[in-house]
Amino acid sequence: MLSQLPVLPVLLPLIGAPACALLRRPTLAWVFACLVAVLAFLCTVSLFTTTWQEGVQTYALGGWPSPWGIEYRIDLLNALVLLVVSGIGAAILLASRASVWQEIGETRRGLFYVACLLCLAGLLGIAATGDAFNLFVFLEISSLSTYALVAMGPDRRALLAAYNYLIMGTIGATFILIGIGFLYMLTGTLSMADLGERLPAMGESRTAFAAYAFIVVGVCLKLALFPLHLWLPGAYTRAPSIVTVFLAATSTKVALYVLIRFTYSVFHLEFSQLAQALDTVFIALGVIAVFAGSLVAIFEADLKRGLAYSSVAQIGFMVIGLGIGTVEGLQASLIHLFNHALMKGALFLALAAFILRVGSSNFSSLRGIGRRMPLATAAFVLAGISLIGIPGTAGFISKWYLVLAAAAQQQWILLGLILAGSLLTAVYIWRFVETAYAEPEGDSVIQRNEAPLGMLLVIVLLALLNLYFGFDSRLPVETAGGAAQALLGGDAS
C-alpha cells in the first residue's frame, strides 16, 4: 500500500470517474465523488508527510525504471501542489451540492461529477508525473473535462466561453507538445529528471531554446498570464459557480507548477544566459498583469467577473516571484500559490453561496447581502482582507516574502509596484464591503437567509484557514522554502 502511494492520488479519481458514470442517481454520484476526492486528499496528506520526512518518493509505473518507463517523482514541490489541489478539490466537491442542484439540470448532475473527477485526476496527474509526455496527456484530460464543465454554465454564453477556452487551450497544449517533441529530438528521452541531466550539457542549443519558447507560451496560455489571459474572464464568469471555484483555486496553480518545473528542473535556466532576459520578461508581464487585472476588477459591475480579473492580477504576483529568480522569489511565488488557492477558494465559494440565494452576482443585487447572509459575507470579507495582504492573514505572508525577495535584489521600483498593486486589491474588496453592508433599496424587511449548512461550513473553514496560515505559516513557508532550495540549489534530488 505505502509503496503505491505516489500513484494513488491520481489513480483514485481516474478510476472513480467511469465508476461514477455508472451511478444513476445524482445524489449517489455526488456522494461517490466526494468519497473519492476525500480519499485522494488523505493519500496526498500521507504522501506529503512521507516526502517531508524521507525526501523524494519515486514510483515506476508498470515496473519499468525511469528513463524507459513513466516515473512518478514526488518531491516537496509536487507534494505541495498535490496537497493544495486535492484538498481544495475535496472541499469544493463537499460543498457543491446545493449550488449544482440549482444551476445544473437533473439529467446532467451525475455527468457533472464525472467531469469533476476527471478534471481532478488530470490536475493531480500533472502534478505527480515525472514524464514530459505523460504531463501533456494529463493536461489534455484536465482541459477537456474543464471545457465540458464550463459549457454546463447556466446561460448560453457559457457555450461560447467554453468554445473560446477550447480553442485557446488546445493551441496552448499543442505548443507544449511541439516543445516536448523538440526536447525528444534533442535528447531522446522524455523523463524530466533525465532531461534535466542532459539538457544543460548541450549548452546554448537553439533547439532547446525553441523548445523552451514553445513550452513557455503554451503553459502561459494555460496559466492565463497577461496578455494570454483572454479566455479566463469569460470562462470564469460563465461557468457554473462551483466550477469557477474549482478552476480558480486549482487549475492555474497547476499551470504555474508546470512553468516552474520546466524552467528549473528540466531546462535548468538558472545557469543560462537566457535567464536574465527571461526574468525581465516575467517581471514585466507580471507587473502589467497585476495592474491591468486589478484595474479592470475595480470597474467591473459584476462581482464574479471582477474576481476573475483579480485572478489574472494574482497570477501576476506569482509570476513576479518567479521572475525575481532567486530562492526567495521562488519561495514567495510558491507561498502565494498555496495561499491564493485558499483565498480564491473562499471568495468564489462565498460568491457561489450569494448566487444561490440572490440569483445574480451583480453589485446592484448584492446590496445588503451582509445582513441577509452574515456568515458567508464575513467569510468573504475575511478572505478579501487576506487577498489584500493585511497582517494576520495568509495573504500578508505571501506579500511579505515577495517584498523581501524584491528588496534582497534591491529592486526598489518593483517593490513599490507590488505594494501599489496590493492597494488596488483593497479598492475592489472595499467596494464589495460597502455594497454588502449598505442599506438595501426599497423594502426594508431583510430576511436572514444563510447558505446551506454544508456549503457554509466549507466557506467558513476556508476563510478561517486564511487566518490560521496568517499566524502559523510554517507549512507553506517551510515547504516552499525547501522546494525552492531543491529547484535552485542545482541539487536535482
Partner 1 sequence: MDVFSYFNYWVVVVLMMLGFFIVIARGNLVKKLIGLNIFQTSVFILYISIGNVSGGAAPILEEGVALYSNPLPHVLILTAIVVGIATTAVGLALVVRIHAAYDSVEESEILAQDEPC
Interface map 308-347 toward partner 1 (x if CB under 8 A): ----------------------------------------
Q: Which is nearer to partner 1, 153 or 482 (CB)?
A: 153
Residue 133 vs 437, nearer CB to partner 1: 133
- Contact call for residue 130 and partner 1 (CB under 8 A): no
Tell the smallest beta-carbon distance from residue 419 to partner 1 (Å): 33
Closest distance of CB 157 from partner 1, Å: 4
**Per-residue burial over 161-190, b = 16 or more CB atoms within 10 Å of its CB, e = otherwise:** bbebbbebbeebbebbbbbbebbeebbebb
Q: Pick the piece of the chain touching partner 1 (CB under 8 A) from 37-45, 75-83, 140-148, 356-364.
A: 140-148
Contact status: 140 vs partner 1 (CB under 8 A): yes
61 binds partner 1 (CB under 8 A): no
Smallest CA-to-CA distance from 170 within 147, 187, 189, 153 is with 147
Residue 365 interacts with partner 1 (CB under 8 A): yes or no: no
Q: Which of 51, 237, 265, 466 is the binder for partner 1 (CB under 8 A)?
A: 237
Rounded Cα–Cα distance for residues 68 and 82 (Å): 25
| Grid cell listed for 158 | 457559457
- Check residue 400 for interaction with partner 1 (CB under 8 A): no
- Is residue 157 involved in binding partner 1 (CB under 8 A)? yes
Among 21, 23, 101, 181, binds partner 1 (CB under 8 A): 181
Segment near partner 1 (CB under 8 A), from 132-140, 362-370, 397-405, 439-447?
Answer: 132-140
Interacting residue with partner 1 among 102, 170, 365, 485 (CB under 8 A):
170
**Among positions 161, 199, 223, 318, the unique one binding partner 1 when judged by CB under 8 A:** 161
Spatial CA neighbour of 55 closest among 489, 387, 482: 482
Decide if residue 148 touches partner 1 (CB under 8 A).
yes
Please identify which residue in 166, 254, 307, 324 interacts with partner 1, judged by CB under 8 A: 166
| Calpha distance 116→95 (Å, rounded) | 13
Among 135, 162, 219, 406, binds partner 1 (CB under 8 A): 162
The residues of the shown chain that bind partner 1, judged by CB under 8 A, are 133, 136-137, 140, 144, 147-148, 151, 156-157, 159-163, 166-167, 170-171, 173-174, 177-178, 181, 184-185, 190, 234, 237-238
